[in-house]
Structure 1
């Protein structure tokens, strides 16, 4: 990872020797590049399979069996091409459709199952990209949405049978814009072009009503028996320690209202706690949590997740947890990357070396996983955050909620990661300068090609609060991000973490960075054209 850090400090002699060797190596690299091309150094990675997106410890509940069978029967029906699954946030829609996708692919009902997250701010580019990666299909950077849709349509028509899962729909998305081949009346033509079906999930039944001709399958909360079984599984055998503790534990479980995401976060926080007083306090505290309105999120879920966050009772762990919401929804977060961000932002207390930071990071990750606020990604080196938990985390660090939390932390985030933005967003209207001092801004995985010379958002953060700025692009992006020399004007002294990875580095595009003398973490991993601009880093006190 091309990351620089203040933790690595050398004397002047050592620096001179290292720079001399670096210069010699750069000269040799340039000679090798001129003598041959290394555009392809390995075979393409195999496409992501739906089975690797499923929970390893998936548990089927009795109260879910009827909905599961209803969905599978609809998938087998030749006259059905679109199926809706609706239910409140945190009820388990995503987990269920992933498991069904894995089963129907294993049973050869479909030759291929692919999945994409739509989310609250639907953007066709990311949706097209997620589907393409699972097919697999490569897009060119220069291709627009329509060209990609046509290319995607041709690929889908060549598949004998395919199921496309579109998760977390908030508004009606025009499927014709994706060019997914559906509703073919001619059976011979359907057989020739392939069978394609779509399984969609949404929190709102109103979204389903806009397409009344398709099956709409409701996913309700867990039955009381299933909910208690899930609670016991996550809290441990301690819930049966005494009759009194079991009775209180059942009351706590009822406060979760049969919603799996609420159950696992609360039970995880109380796992193996044998003190009856702890359970009684938890019950009262959950009831007292002030509900917060978040679009599409049931307030009962908010109260349980928010209590689990408060129960951490450790500012360092809480701040680490909050920094995880800077990544896009359902993102595979690399633990090492989180370590660099938190080290740069000063999240860790009494940590001076990178090795100490790594050890502290692992301890914090284990704690958050045990509390079910984070869970393991595709390997031990990655973590993920449930979209509902991420919604709560973003609400904690967003105005005006964050202002009332300053006694616990001083974080105020602007999170626009993976929103498909093509230009820098100015500060939202209606937010006063008193609450505009963001400490972290995440614009990662967007399509912004140029930042403004002067911007009200950074000017409002000139009081020295902005510590983290994430501008990296998706690994598939081949576009350049231009940064004017005056862009960092108001945050020269405060910015400590900057991520510009996976960008094309053009002439003088790193020049604005040389004024950021307090940087502790700088990520330039995967940048192309870096060798021509690397000398700029010599101005930084790293």
Structure 2
């Protein structure tokens, strides 16, 4: 037989005795069961049937299931009837190689392996030559920036050719600049679907090894915050846990700040952190991390957040807060588009943003892992504290939050040479010792708001000579101490809804020569001391001092109506 083949070959010119077999139009890919994505998949499938929709963008945070979603769509094209002649899948990723993506496209089209040796330009011409004569679907996964379809050789989808491009990204902006006519967000799972997915990954044996384990498992599932990647990875890790001790230990570890399971740190956070690492500059990164000072699931008023950023010096392109608003709008829009922040709706007419719980945990993780002192954070927001934490822990901290606790007294004298932001709002503060602020020489932002039982400021607050932002709104303070005159760098003073405020000494407000933002709530009647007090009588004295402030940019004074 071999001799016959040799004789035939000697009589002819055979450059190739066989071609690589053509690829199937659709190769079914293994895929995680898309729990909770059914309605979104159907929505996209309906869009595919719309003649005026050529490009569809799917966006959502890392780990939310976009790749699973796209894989499921690809497999759906393997089921007749299917009018598309070619279905192409390609992973683009952050640092993509045009040639390798073309090779993947060529494999789907049916080009031989030897074709991959051609140049990028030649391959683009070949791909275009095939696809321009066929109705095709291209599925591009994980785009981080605008890609040029012509560079790959992919014709632009249109009504004329009836072809479709479906792409996934973590960024709404990327979907938009790719020209998507339909942009659909892939969200985290609701609690019911999250529990369904978690049960599937843990398995029947582990869940039924003890009658109390299902309830414990629900607590673990809740800690995954509806993020499919977390539910899958943690669920698989717990599949071999069959004792109450193991499940209770898992709950204990996941409830501790910065003590989440190893699988979260090793698998979930690195994936989410790609979005953070891809932010265009350090300012956006600092502004994002600043948001983790708030408690989980907290609706953060955008206006107040921007003012804190401004006073902290994070918005360094502008000197006036009204001008800095442009920069902050761009930052917040970028963080929303990158799924690092979410829309928090409106509260009392103010637009808010919020952090997904898993993003909040990731931000805390970043701040704890960073070697740079810039990111030294101490966050005990909503931690049910009844007293101030050990002051030794404060010494290297730059930004600290103890908001939304039950702390009544601050009696220590912490040494905080680097502290710039301190959130103490929404506690039950009654007393702050005179020495509490003594060793905070760089403190810039101080939020004491919503401490209704706080009746007086300590004398030591006058030592905060670098303070630029002081929020006293919703406190029970009755008088501003004249010692505040030493806070000459103050840019923002909020006295809103201070129902007990009866006295502001003369010449105090006028001493804040750098003040840009002033807010207060004022009734204008009853119980105001008449000596050395700009609140006594009409508002003429107060307005006179405010008129002398050359930098004042935002002024809000609410006067309460008198009811008889």
Flag the structure with higher helix content. Answer: 1
TM-score between the two structures when normalised by the length of structure 2: 0.42
Greater Cα radius of gyration, structure 1 or 2? 2
**Does 1 or 2 have the higher relative contact order (CA < 8 Å, sep 6+)?**
1
TM-score between the two structures when normalised by the length of structure 1: 0.43
